[in-house]
Amino acid sequence: MNQPDSHPQFRYFDFVLAAFVTILLLSNVIGAGKVAEIDLPAIGLWPFGAGVLFFPISYVIGDVLTEVYGYAYARRCIWAGFAALLFMAFMAWVVVALPPAANWGNQAAYEAVFGQVPRIVMASIIAFWAGEFVNSYVLAKMKIWTRGKMLWSRTIGSTIFGQGVDSALFYPIAFLGVAGWTNDLVVQVIFTQWAIKVAWEAALTPVTYAVVGWLKRREGVEIFDTETDFSPFAKTER
């Protein structure tokens, strides 16, 4: 069955969509603002963005969406996530900008957590949009090339490309030219974050197999995007 649009009554698609958007927003709210540090053997202290611990889960869910429901439905989820990110960024700006009550003394802490640098917000949204579409496109194409076999090869392969685009866009847009961020540091962080995200994807492969297998059995589908319009702006009928 080639076209996901011929199966409009998916039982679990809305739940997967909700999980995708939830993880995406949490990764930006909880993890984006904190820089953590670990002590690596023979390397020493190594800083990393805390969001890297669970942001890759959104890519795993993206893989599940494309593998089970096809590129067209994954495209719907990416646009939903994109809109949610824009709305979250706007509302965070509005709430932080509201004048605090005279007897409320937590404005500085609130700004530290939810105050967002516009350049970083824009970098995050652009990188997410481009990276997710690359991830979904590569996985859909690889599914056709592999004839639906070797799921691990396309989940990891698509993440290599998708997360590569994500990291290559986010860090230069967000930090290139910023005080304290040398060109070498930007490049170092790009490759570090990319490697960690791909490693996370590989580590979660058994989970991906279990979820994909369960959803395919429940939905009764095996979709190949042989006739799909891969434009990010194509209309998805439902």
**Residue 16, domain CATH:** 1.10.1760
Residue 228 maps to a domain: no
Distance of alpha carbon 13 from alpha carbon 107, whole angstroms:
40
Residue 224 maps to a domain: no
Q: What band does 2 get if pLDDT is binned at 50, 70 and 90?
A: very low
Residue 233 maps to a domain: no
DSSP 101-143: PTT---HHHHHHHH---HHHHHHHHHHHHHHHHHHHHHHHHHH
Q: What is the pLDDT of residues 15-37, one digit of tens each?
A: 999 999 998 888 777 765 566 77
> Could you give the number of structural domains in the chain?
1
Residue 8 maps to a domain: yes
Residue 227 maps to a domain: no
Residue 229 maps to a domain: no
Asked if pLDDT for residue 159 goes beyond 80, the answer is yes
Q: What is the pLDDT of residues 180-209, one digit of tens each?
A: 788 888 898 889 889 988 998 899 999 999
Q: Are 11 and 218 in contact (CB under 8 A)?
A: yes
What is the rounded average pLDDT for all residues in the chain?
87
Q: Which domain holds residue 192?
A: 4-99+108-219
Residue 137 maps to a domain: yes
Does the pTM surpass 0.85? The reply is yes
Q: Are 161 and 135 in contact (CB under 8 A)?
A: yes
Asked if pLDDT for residue 230 goes beyond 60, the answer is yes
Residue 236 maps to a domain: no
Q: Which of 27-31, 142-146, 152-156, 175-179 shows the lowest mean pLDDT across its residues?
A: 27-31
